[in-house]
Structure 1
Amino acid sequence: MSRRMRRPCSLLVLAALLLALCGCAPGRETPTIRVGVALYLQEDTFLSTVVQSLEQLARAREEALGVKLNFNIADARSSQASQNEQVDRFLQQGCDVICVNLVDRTAAAVIVDKAQAAGVPIVFFNRQPVQEDLDRWDQAYYVGSKADRAGILQGQIVLDAWQKNTAALDRNGDGVLQYVMLEGEPGHQDALLRTEYCVKTLTEAGVAVEKLASNSADWVRGQATLRMQQWLETFGDTIEVVFSNNDDMALGAIDACMAAGMTEAELPFIVGVDATPPALEAVAAGTLKGTVQNDAAGQAESILDLCCALAGGQDAASAVALEDGKYVWLEYTAVTKENLEDFLPEA
């Protein structure tokens, strides 16, 4: 079901919620849906985009339906212990729904058990819990995108460029694509799958590749800059492609190249994931050759639809398209300079 088709359905669900909360009698207080949102790290560029979209959509939904949507945003600053405490606080405050972007995807069981004991539905997003943990309760859900698909599309961007103009990427003319890999958080599912499938896409298409180096930069732009500086000192212009598990690290690689005095034409072929606003600017500038849109607005809309339905005791499937009764999957989309206009905000 498309997002365009889901919205009328979600509006009907929320209308039913309003009736349940306050009835039709005039003069009653505006009903409030209280949602606790726990983030692994609020300064993460993609997450900040999701939160911004969520708040914008919530304001529009409030105005359309006469309901108050109260979002309490908490930043765990990469501490699972802090996030667990934040969930406890949300429950004590009487939140109707809790949304969690996990610090540690293997630590969901504790949070699910807390929510179940309190009878409060929980929506995980962007960092997928272990399936066994999500299955612990029928009121636990996940909103996100399949990480292997991001890797495939990222690899396809490079593959298309290789097939279109091999000489432009194969600077040393050896017929082998030499690359470095900026990885996200060690052990993180998205980092592992994006890393695996971007390269697999090339090798399955018959492209010979050579990994010069790979290392974690923990999704962070500054760390990626330091990694890239080290690799430039070691490998110099033999680096033909930079794969990055997210856009912030890709931008960090660009920062290092520019600090080393490279011109745009001298940059390696750098690709990221997320299609954040700064990344789209870099694609427009030609320094970032491509990215893969991780649909922040789509995730926000699905989260909001789920929250409205669950807060009113409605069936989640009446508001969103669920797979296996638990999952809302959004599609990734490859972004290059050729289709960039489709992803830029409207003027």
Structure 2
Amino acid sequence: MILGTVLGLIIFGGIGEFSKSQKANSLGQVKYLIGVSYPNLNGPWQLQMNKEIKNEIARHDDTRVIFTDAAQNDEQQVQDIHSLMSYGIDLLIVSVDNASTLTPVISEVYKKIPVIVLGRGVKGYDYTLYIGSDNQLNGNMAAKEAIRLLGNKRGQIIEVEGNKESLQAEERSKGFRETIQRESKHSIIETINGNWLKDRAEDELKNLLKSGVKPDLIYAHNDAMALGAYQALKQLKIEGIKIIGTDGLNEESGGLRLVKQGIIDATYITPTGGTSAVQYAIDILHKVPGLPKKIILRNHEVTKSNVDSYLTEGDNSSIPFIKKKERKIKLGFAQVGSESEWRLANTDSIISAAKEAGVELILKNADYSQKKQMDIIRDFIKQKVDVIAFSPKTEDGWEEVLMEAKNAGIPIILSDREINVEDQTMWTSFIGSDFVEEGRRAGKWLVSDSKLTTTPLHIIEIEGTANSAPAVDRKQGFNEIIQQNSKFQLLQSYSGDFTLDQGKKWMKQALKTYGTEIDVVYAHNDDMALGAIKAIEDYGLKPGVDIKIISIDATIKAFNSLKLGKMNFTVECNPLLGPQLMKAVKDLENGIEIPQKIITAEETFDQKQSKKEFSRRAY
């Protein structure tokens, strides 16, 4: 720890007394001090992250960085973070291996200063910003390539996993295994732990192969372990085994060069996010409003067929960009409807942000019809707009129209809701909420509120539009939590289509069926919750007292119900996506690859908290 800290001071501040008043260089004074905590700095991916952070921080005269390297010791990293806090850092950037050990200390730091979790995640939401890849999707992509490489024969696969306590390893494994089991007859015969290290992966695999195990393919969670697998095979003179890695660095022994040399068959470029971390850190320290909660960077698949383009300047052929134009950028937005207060606020945000950004906006409303929404998108294609954005009514059925947009070279941005398509290059970016986490937060509040209750609690769920992303995910997240305790019993789920009238209708039906047996209503949005409140009052019961009301959106009408004691808890779903959408459009105009997903920052509110927030609520 001491060595790591001193090293950071040598590079960026000199040894001796260190303070924020110390000059960063001849151009200015140190205003901000950032601490960077690594689990280790002996792997190429972490070294690349460190390089990016150093290069970007050098562009900011008033900011210094202290680095620590825990040398793959979890307890040492905890001590490193305490040490950084003692130096008076203004912001912490942290990458973790062991999420279980590091989550508590990061949660504590988050109560005092901003925290950016970089590359490898922690449990929960106690951080300012997460920047990383979609590791489950990464595993899913690797599985599809494994299926292609193995062909029709029933192949045997060895998985070489990273640190067992790392969420990154857990998610990559989940994505890989689920896809292999769902889409093939191949089998994963063994899993070995390489702990992200080349030498360990090599030794563990050699021991396994010597026992007589004969794989057809090896999937390693990073390229270092993939190289270790290759060396183990080479030493044992075993040929014909396919190898898939992940990281895709363009350096000596990096994944790109391993693919080029035929050492491995595929890798997946997973950006470290080092540059973005510093850029967002500066924005956080300068209190820039409207910053996201999560930035999910895009993965790129690299095989023998496209490796040369990545080795030169990077291959952006799968990601469309806007060609420079002298006129204003033209954005076509296909709004799903005006079904709720949330949607009206969302539309207003898009209109005002486009005006402020100087973007020509063509906004059309699909009146909650998927067919009409598709017709609007096709009309945008005919008009040759520069970008198309839309909030999809449902998850499925978009392949044909999005392929038309892709063939026309028009980037697609998903706003608020995600879609389910096989080809992820059909859309460029998603800007919106983490709906699963919203459901989890609703469930966690119920668990906390009822922790002294031992009798069964009977729940009515009023879902959003069937097969829409928020309805599917909010249900999943809520169920994840309540299914952990048998006292929570779901009586019935109804589809309320996100409208007040439908919420009232189905709550009336629930009361007719179950009456006073109902203890809790969980509604997927505020409008349905408000409808349920009216039905409960009409029935002669007190909402918020006789029946607890949990909702999602946190609109001003929900805040009013919280103040009146008719609602108990609401989870924020931020509709003000306009500024982030316009930033993405401008980045595309400037040839900048935008993140695959931009997840908004959101809060939760109970009756007490709503009184403080009510006067500041903008929607």
TM-score, with structure 1 as normaliser? 0.79
In structure 2, distance between residues paired with 1:192 and 1:82: 22
Partner of 1:85: 375
* C-alpha deviation, 1:115, in angstroms: 1.6
After the TM superposition, which residues 1-347 of structure 1 pair with which residues of structure 2 at under 5 Å, given as runs?
Answer: 5=283, 21-22=325-326, 31-59=327-355, 61-62=356-357, 68-136=358-426, 140-163=428-451, 166=453, 175-204=455-484, 206=485, 208-264=487-543, 266-297=545-576, 299-310=577-588, 312-317=589-594, 322=595, 326-340=596-610, 341-342=612-613, 344-345=615-616
Gaps of 5+ in 1: 11-19, 23-30, 63-67, 167-173
1:215–1:275 CA distance, 2 compared to 1 (3 A): same
Contact 2:556/2:617 (<8 A) preserved: no
Length, aligned pairs only: 303
In structure 2, distance between residues paired with 1:113 and 1:203: 39
What residue identity is the alignment partner of 1:185? Answer: T
In structure 2, distance between residues paired with 1:93 and 1:195: 38
* C-alpha deviation, 1:212, in angstroms: 2.0
Q: 3-state SS of the aligned residue for 2:392?
A: coil
Contact 1:291/1:334 (<8 A) preserved: yes
Partner of 2:198: none
Contact 1:246/1:273 (<8 A) preserved: yes
What residue identity is the alignment partner of 2:522? Answer: F
In structure 1, distance between residues paired with 2:527 and 2:282: 30
Q: 3-state SS of the aligned residue for 1:273?
A: strand
* C-alpha deviation, 1:54, in angstroms: 2.0
Contact 1:76/1:103 (<8 A) preserved: no
1:152–1:84 CA distance, 2 compared to 1 (3 A): same
Contact 2:521/2:549 (<8 A) preserved: yes
Gaps of 5+ in 2: 1-276, 292-323
1:232–1:83 CA distance, 2 compared to 1 (3 A): same
Contact 2:438/2:571 (<8 A) preserved: yes
* C-alpha deviation, 1:264, in angstroms: 4.9
* C-alpha deviation, 1:207, in angstroms: 5.5
1:136–1:95 CA distance, 2 compared to 1 (3 A): closer
Query: When you count helix as a share of all residues, which structure comes out higher?
Result: 1
Contact 1:108/1:133 (<8 A) preserved: no
1:84–1:203 CA distance, 2 compared to 1 (3 A): closer
Identity %: 23
Contact 2:460/2:491 (<8 A) preserved: yes
* C-alpha deviation, 1:179, in angstroms: 1.0
What residue identity is the alignment partner of 1:162? Answer: S
What residue identity is the alignment partner of 2:432? Answer: G
* C-alpha deviation, 1:200, in angstroms: 2.9
What residue identity is the alignment partner of 2:420? Answer: V
1:158–1:116 CA distance, 2 compared to 1 (3 A): same
Structure 1 moving runs of 4+ over 6 Å = none
Structure 1 residues 230-286: Cα deviation after superposition (integer angstroms, max 9, x where no partner): 111222222110011111111110011122233456441011111122222222222
What residue identity is the alignment partner of 2:591? Answer: Q
Contact 1:112/1:133 (<8 A) preserved: no
1:111–1:342 CA distance, 2 compared to 1 (3 A): farther
Contact 2:352/2:578 (<8 A) preserved: no
Q: 3-state SS of the aligned residue for 1:48?
A: helix
